[in-house]
Structure 1
Amino acid sequence: MSQVTQRSATLSPYGRSTEPDLPPKAAWFFEGVLAAGLGLGSLAVLVLLLWIISPYPESGAGGALHIAADLWLLGHGSSLVRTDTLSGVPAPIALTPLLLAIPPVWLLYRACVQALAHGGEPSGDEDPKSETGSAPADGAGREPMGPLTPLVFVAGGYLLTGAVTVLFASGGPVRADALSALVRLPLFVLCVVAATLWPLGGDVPPEPGRQPGTEAADASVNSHDGSAGSARAAGSAPEAAAARRRLSSLVPYDARLLARRLPRLRTVLTATAVLFGGGLLITLGALLWHVDDVRAAFPRLAGDSWTGQFAVLLLVVALLPNAAVWAAAYVLGPGFALGGGSSAGLLVDGDATGLPPFPLLEALPAQAGGHGFLTSLAAGTVPLAAAATVGWYVAHAAVPEPGRAPGAASRQGTVWVVALVACEIGAGVAALAALSGGALGTEAMAFLGPNWWLTGGAACAWTLLVGAPVALAVRSWRLRGRGPDDDWHQTLARRARWAELKTASGGLMPDFEPRRD
């Protein structure tokens, strides 16, 4: 897959051959179509392989391609509808295997990055060089576009391919829910585009062909224009600056400095990875502990057919990320619902019996309180480790140089930044909890998975209550040994030096109080 998605002369619209490239807008649009097509193609190859090796296929190649389209839409969070139920009532399928969402996210994100990287290239229908062979200084042949324009065309190509896929998958015993796809697919694309723009920090690069310093000159020229538009623009800038200052005044100054110094994205991703990695380890450990029950669940679902059991195994692998999120909700406290009133969690009283014979469900305890003290202790270390990771990162950013108090953030600023990171982690955990759950039918199976707002709130509370003390403790530890020149910067030391200099000057220095900090 990585070699297929590499920039090559056969697939990439930004070819390196002597032939003229596509116009930028067409190239960006083709990037979106290519990203969607690669995701669809990979699923189609897998489904067709299973169809070929199946001894008794129930449908032809068209049905297999229909299943691939259904899985592709399900990976984007769109719901499916199953019509051939025993009761005759259509049953929704809205539980998204998170493993199916990883390839579309990666392919679309890579397409957006490619479009942004080539966003300043000259148009394909215009020569970027003048007749003399030199590039024009005024940016002729380049389209003055911001970073949003390439992403809009990439999203358009991706959504067009998605619309065609929805039309193709709108029939059959398991069909796509058009209303759900109309909402979830654009929302999926919007989230990936926002993630692409996040590293830019909201800074719009200068227009192609314009020097970075020309904006100030243009503003100076327009200030003497006397037009109503420039007056409104000049009046809106101080108002926006004043609004930013009012918002910034609510946060301590050293907390703002620490928030800029701290690699927040890395901190959030590392702590979230520790939380869900611990959940995955708990899931795998529970599967190994109940390995006999897990092995017996495969023939109960698929019979003696090895192809059917292999398909069940693929489904289990696709749901392992969901199981990691559910296990994280389990150790955080809120737990997760299993349908029909069944639930599981460290702090949840419920019954986990009477579940269908699915391998992942065989790893659950029979009763909600069936876990022992050692199991609870081991599960509680996962959120503790994630919160301690946040405290460790914040403390190291609060005291960049061990043993030096100058430049270190205060205790209040450290707690502020821990609270900020806790809110970001809570929002991310809540989003993943919402994506990991869903419906697999009606009535008792109307919802399975963790409650998103309870899980996100628990992750935020764990991070704040554990991360703040860890950050303060590590901060104090890093400040325990002061450097040899720390006393030089103290106020009393400066006043003593000032008095000695005034005495040694013999009255040449004026008699006034030293400047106060």
Structure 2
Amino acid sequence: MTQLMGRPILGLPGELGARSVLADLLTGVRAALFTFAAIAVPVLALWVVTPYADDTAAGAGRVACSLWLLGHGAPLTRGATAAPVTVTPLLPALLTAVLLYRAGARIGRRGHRHWRAPVAVCAGYLAVATAAVAQCATEGVLRARPLPDLIAVAALAAASLAAGLWSATGPWPLPLGRFAGRVPEVPDWARPVGAGPVVRRAAGAGGLALVAAGGLVLAVAAVLGAGAAGRSAEALGGGAAGFVGLLLACAVLLPNAVLWAAAYALGPGFAVGTGTAVAPTGTRLGALPDLPLFALLPEPSGVGWQLLACALPPAAGVVPALLLGRAAMGEQAAPEGRPAWHPAATCLAALGSSLLAGAGAAPAAWLAGGALAAGRMSALGPVPWQAGLATAGWLAAVTVPGALLTRWWLTRAGTPSWWEQLAALTNRRTARTRAALHRTLTWAADLPSPLARWRSRD
């Protein structure tokens, strides 16, 4: 009996060893509270250290709830005029996506493809979001819009969980049904066998390279405009607490600024208000709020070194070109023995990765922009379709020829040169002659010399 009591019941297979719905529900609640704490703790700390604070702790909590909802892409309104505030701080959104992605991956590693667990995690997350919406639904500086806000939170949670499940279990089969037969058949020589994972990796690598290019552009702008940004922060700070709060606000908007800089390097640029444009070909600005990030914008006068930023997207396209060119070699590069791709199949894979990267750049540009108020500040950030089209165009222009060149170079590296081929042909054609000459020389070497025979007579 004591041996049976020492055995863990949770180790048994079947329903007894399965994770309960309550545990998945608490996983969603825990993820939501963790992301909320990442915003609420700095807000409440600044409220505590701010001298002569006009608001109460409940007001500070309301601000934290509003910022948490805004970090999920939820639209808010500001003031008595209900001015829209739709700019999503991407740093909290990335934190939320990472946590829920990991939760989805853990669900996928259990090996059970069932809808119950991800729905329970989403329900737990939405329970916290409902409480935050209820806190911000009344009149205030920032006011929530219940239905759109809950839809935005649910969309981010569901997308992050689905991505985690995809990474752990692979893509789920699509119910194409009768539509599958209507897809035109691609010839075998133009079909890149096993290109799905490679194309996704190449698209992700190209996107990350463009983000790195945006970070480089932003770093250069920060170095050149450090003086103006410092003066703006000093004027707005008004004290240590205000200065720290301003730095935190710039930090949560830093991924947005990186994507804006990437759109600048791509060519279309971005807007900082209606009727404005910030691009390498020229800058047209109007009246702007006195914010440190806006102080980093280029001057409207002239076009000079800014055109050098346009050299970064072609450099970013080299990364997916190398990945696809190596994958095109088939069994020479892949251990699973996959056949090599035809040049047409390599072009098709490169074009697909470019289009996939452009399809991801458009929603990223949409999330990075938005509105801060009505009127002039109702248009901020890149135009999504322009950013997606520029991303696909730049990457396709570099990735397609780059992948072909990489494939040719790797094929050439495994093929003997013309000199080596000529030497091998000469060796094959003269093999018999060299063998006969060798036998003749060996026979001649074995013959005794006349001098040796003359000496032997003496």
TM value normalised by structure 2: 0.80
Q: 1:252 to 1:421 in 2, by over 3 A?
A: farther
Q: Deviations over 1:41-86 (max 9, x none)?
A: 2222121111122122221211111111111101100012111xxx
**Equivalent residue, structure 2, for 1:328:** 262
Unaligned runs of 5+ in 1: 1-13, 121-145, 205-236, 485-517
Alpha-carbon distance in structure 2 between the residues aligned to 1:203 and 1:181: 29
**Equivalent residue, structure 2, for 1:130:** none
**Equivalent residue, structure 2, for 1:357:** 290
**Equivalent residue, structure 2, for 1:135:** none
Match of residue 277, structure 1, among 202, 205, 212: 212
* Aligned-residue offset at 1:474: 1.1
**Equivalent residue, structure 2, for 1:183:** 151
Which one has the bigger helix percentage? 2
Residue type at the aligned position of 1:375? Q
Query: Is 2:106 the partner of 1:114?
Result: yes
* Aligned-residue offset at 1:203: 4.3
Match of residue 104, structure 1, among 73, 96, 99: 96
**Equivalent residue, structure 2, for 1:156:** 123
Residue type at the aligned position of 2:326? H
Match of residue 446, structure 1, among 365, 378, 382: 378
Alpha-carbon distance in structure 1 between the residues aligned to 2:48 and 2:17: 39
* Aligned-residue offset at 1:100: 1.6
3-state secondary structure, aligned to 2:412 = coil
Q: 1:21 to 1:469 in 2, by over 3 A?
A: closer
3-state secondary structure, aligned to 2:191 = helix
Once the two structures are overlaid, the 10-residue window that deviates more, 68-77 or 44-53, is 44-53
Match of residue 299, structure 1, among 206, 231, 234: 234
* Aligned-residue offset at 1:389: 1.1
Alpha-carbon distance in structure 1 between the residues aligned to 2:227 and 2:26: 50
Contact 1:341 1:350 in 2 (8 A): no
Contact 1:391 1:471 in 2 (8 A): yes
Contact 2:103 2:161 in 1 (8 A): no
Alpha-carbon distance in structure 1 between the residues aligned to 2:155 and 2:377: 25
* Aligned-residue offset at 1:190: 2.3
Alpha-carbon distance in structure 2 between the residues aligned to 1:439 and 1:244: 42
**Equivalent residue, structure 2, for 1:391:** 321
Alpha-carbon distance in structure 1 between the residues aligned to 2:109 and 2:332: 39
Contact 2:104 2:162 in 1 (8 A): no
Alpha-carbon distance in structure 1 between the residues aligned to 2:245 and 2:288: 20
Contact 2:199 2:349 in 1 (8 A): no
Alpha-carbon distance in structure 1 between the residues aligned to 2:188 and 2:272: 45
Q: 1:117 to 1:410 in 2, by over 3 A?
A: closer
Match of residue 251, structure 2, among 317, 329, 335: 317
RMSD of the alignment, in Å?
A: 2.7
**Equivalent residue, structure 1, for 2:306:** 375
Q: 1:341 to 1:201 in 2, by over 3 A?
A: same
Q: 1:252 to 1:341 in 2, by over 3 A?
A: farther
Contact 1:402 1:481 in 2 (8 A): no
**Equivalent residue, structure 2, for 1:288:** 223
Alpha-carbon distance in structure 2 between the residues aligned to 1:196 and 1:421: 21
* Aligned-residue offset at 1:457: 0.8
* Aligned-residue offset at 1:451: 0.4
* Aligned-residue offset at 1:165: 1.4
Q: Deviations over 1:188-236 (max 9, x none)?
A: 12211321232333348xxxxxxxxxxxxxxxxxxxxxxxxxxxxxxxx
* Aligned-residue offset at 1:320: 1.2
Aligned residues with identical type, % of pairs: 32
Match of residue 404, structure 2, among 472, 492, 506: 472
Q: 1:468 to 1:62 in 2, by over 3 A?
A: same
Unaligned runs of 5+ in 2: 1-8, 417-458
3-state secondary structure, aligned to 2:284 = coil
Match of residue 163, structure 2, among 195, 199, 202: 195
* Aligned-residue offset at 1:178: 1.7
Alpha-carbon distance in structure 1 between the residues aligned to 2:209 and 2:182: 36
Alpha-carbon distance in structure 2 between the residues aligned to 1:403 and 1:311: 51
Residue type at the aligned position of 1:352? L
**Equivalent residue, structure 2, for 1:55:** 51
Aligned length: 399
TM value normalised by structure 1: 0.72
* Aligned-residue offset at 1:245: 5.8
Alpha-carbon distance in structure 2 between the residues aligned to 1:432 and 1:252: 35
Q: Deviations over 1:99-119 (max 9, x none)?
A: 121121122222223333346
The structure with the largest alpha-carbon Rg is 2
* Aligned-residue offset at 1:345: 0.8
Alpha-carbon distance in structure 2 between the residues aligned to 1:181 and 1:21: 37
* Aligned-residue offset at 1:315: 1.0
Q: 1:119 to 1:25 in 2, by over 3 A?
A: farther
